[in-house]
A = this chain, B = another copy of it.
């Protein structure tokens, strides 16, 4: 690894001072002779010189880098969010550092700290909620945006969707469509606001519709937990029109095949609906009714808030709720 050229090297080779080179680098040509400018340009090209952003950042106290911490980069929510976030920031000239917490609070904390050490200018994260004290402190010093699992925290921004309302709405519609039973499949919701909210929404709907809620908890990656849930669905469906409503697309994905394999007619005997809009929802037959989360809008909003704040503009909305919408499809007999 040959050492990279520095501004000193350029200055020396061009026979000027580092100041002049620095001026050149920052586009302050107005006070510089044509000749000097050309000379410097030539040397830079020749040396393949690239200014050291670390040195610049150290001096300027600005890194033009923003950090994002998600639970898992391959979760559809995160994919959509990160893409929109990255685009918005990229357009404003910021770099993006990405890391995965795997939902682990300690790891999340470490990641935040190491982002801070790297002097990211802002952080967006899908937090476990266990580091709220630290985040609250941090939010005093830099823009902090909590997405998805959006806890209300002083000084921090929160971007999420109306999980409870949308969940209530879709569950309600399922009852309204004539499904006597709606079986709700969720992962362990404790400590995860999106999940508790969606569950609450479902329970709200049951209350209003005067139906007995049926909540089955599953663990992704553990087929036996799904077996149990599906056995319950099967039992219900034999007695009355039943709908399965899953708390997110990944849960539905994991049980979709065995669910269909039960053999009940969709949508007549069995309805299927899910929170999230998996990209395959329209490909299966019949297409799956779902709650469309405006993931990209959230990413964009997060990017906009951060760039605005870093530009020194006050951003008012501390809690942004981007509403989800229900998309009725054939899997519930309408659409």
Contacts and interface: CB of A to CB of B under 8 A. Distances in A.
A214 interface: no
Contact of A284 (B51, B72, B117, B280): B280
Contacts of A82: 73, 98
Candidate in A54, A63, A119, A283 with the most chain B CB atoms within 10 angstroms: A54
B280 A257 contact: no
Interface string A140-178: 111000000000000000000000000000000000000
A4 B141 contact: yes
A159 to B, nearest CB: 19
Interface stretch (A15-23, A89-97, A217-225, A320-328): A89-97
A235 interface: no
A285 interface: yes
A96 B98 contact: yes
A210 interface: no
A297 interface: no
B83 A72 contact: yes
A137 interface: yes
Contact of A119 (B48, B53, B86): B53
Given A141-B1, A280-B284, A79 B73 contact: yes
B117 A53 contact: yes
A279 interface: yes
B137 A48 contact: yes
Contacts of A72: 83
Interface of A: 1-2, 4, 48, 50-55, 57-58, 63, 65, 72-74, 79-80, 82-83, 86-87, 90, 95-100, 113-114, 116-119, 137, 140-142, 253, 256-257, 260, 278-280, 282-285
Given A54-B63, A74-B83, A283-B284, 19 more contacts: A48-B137, A50-B117, A51-B117, A52-B117, A53-B117, A54-B58, A73-B83, A95-B97, A95-B114, A97-B98, A253-B280, A256-B283, A257-B282, A257-B283, A278-B280, A280-B280, A280-B284, A283-B283, A285-B285
28 contacts: A1-B141, A50-B113, A50-B117, A52-B117, A53-B117, A53-B119, A54-B54, A54-B57, A54-B58, A54-B63, A54-B118, A55-B58, A65-B118, A72-B83, A74-B83, A82-B98, A87-B100, A90-B99, A95-B97, A96-B98, A253-B279, A253-B280, A256-B283, A257-B282, A257-B283, A279-B280, A280-B280, A284-B284
